[in-house]
Amino acid sequence: MARLTRSREGVHRGGEVLALLAAGAILVGLVGRLCHAAPTSGAQSWPSAEHGPLTEAAWPTASAYQPAWLLARASQSTSTGRLAPIWRASSTAARVPEPTVLALLAAVDFDRCQRDLRRLTGMERLCAGSRCGTIGNRLTGGPGLELALDYFLEELGRLGYEPQIEAWQGRQVADRNVLVRKTGVVSPTEEVFVVAHVDGVGSCPGPVCPAADDNGSGAVATLELARVFAGTSFARSVVLLFTTGEEQGMVGAQAFIARRSREELRAIHGLINVDMLGYDGNGDNVVELYYGEHPPSVELAQRIRQAIETYVPALRPRPDPGCG
């Protein structure tokens, strides 16, 4: 696994932006793959609180993933291109593949992601600690989500992280968020966040499967990030945050913010919220990047767009100021 390197010239400059670029490239590399259409499986539909029910003739097959597809063009270059600071997007920055990002991309195990998704959606039995079960749903406050989070905690601990649990209490529901933090080796007080909600609506068995796309896909992708990031160092600290209560109005995320000081919130230099990356409804390979109108967010979206074009050229990024 590649690491942030120190040389006579100083710290590897790519490390400054590596975390977000790697996260962006890896996450979009999974777009449309996790719930890729499998003609041999029966039609199922997954509910989406944001967009209403989606009808998907889909369950993923392991063969849907082609690592070569991800790296086809990116791996042609061996250049150690320097990346510009993340808040100063340029037309050329990040267009030369960064070897460390390529190494991280190569470490992504899509079969592992699909296995996690099957476990999160009741397609496969899930064990965490001494407890095993089949998840029927991941409703906030329910036993299915509890088992899913226990599994995440176990996996994160096994990887060497020290996961933190933050219980929260809403007006009508209560649950917990889980987060891990990799301390940066250059600017540890500056943080980069990747956030995914683990809760979902819908139950199995029945015609509706429990939230495979929204947001089993984002949750397992972020867990996979934890795996491939485990042996890597970054300039800034990286925080992977798994929230609950999203479907009740982002209650868990709001609780997370509410208990942070102004200084702690200021330390967050970038954040990617990963939601519903598992299904490409019309098969157009378009990745939607919602960013709002806050200028740094616009620049971040442009950087992620560049990362997509550089590392996953088969996908077409579409920045969209919605969801601001």
**Cβ 42 to Zn ion, closest distance in Å?**
24
The reply on whether position 275 binds Zn ion by CB under 5 A is yes
Residue 187: φ, ψ to 5°: -125, 70
Binding mask 9-38 for Zn ion (x = CB under 5 A): ------------------------------
Least distance to Zn ion, CB of residue 96, Å: 34
215 binds Zn ion (CB under 5 A): yes
Stretch of 39-47, 184-192, 214-222, 303-311 contacting Zn ion, by CB under 5 A: 214-222
**Comparison of 98 and 247: residue with beta carbon closer to Zn ion:** 247
- Where helices occur in 130-285 by DSSP H, the ranges are 143-158, 218-229, 251-258, 262-266
The whole-angstrom separation of Cα 176 and Cα 178 is: 7
175 near Zn ion (CB under 5 A):
no
Tell the residue number behind the tokens 């209650």, with chain if given: 251
Task: Write down the least CB distance from residue 97 to Zn ion, Å.
Answer: 31
Number of other residues whose CB lies within 10 A of the CB of residue 46: 26
Q: Half-sphere exposure of 56 toward its Cβ, with a 13 Å CA cutoff? A: 28
**214 near Zn ion, judged by CB under 5 A:** yes
For residues 54 and 45, the answer to whether their CB atoms sit within 8 Å is: yes
Q: What's the closest the beta carbon of residue 208 comes to Zn ion, in angstroms? A: 15
Residue 196: CB minimum distance to Zn ion, A: 9
- Contact status, residue 211 vs residue 36, Cβ threshold 8 Å: no
Integer Cα distance of 324 and 320 in angstroms: 9
Residues that bind Zn ion (CB under 5 A): 214-215, 275
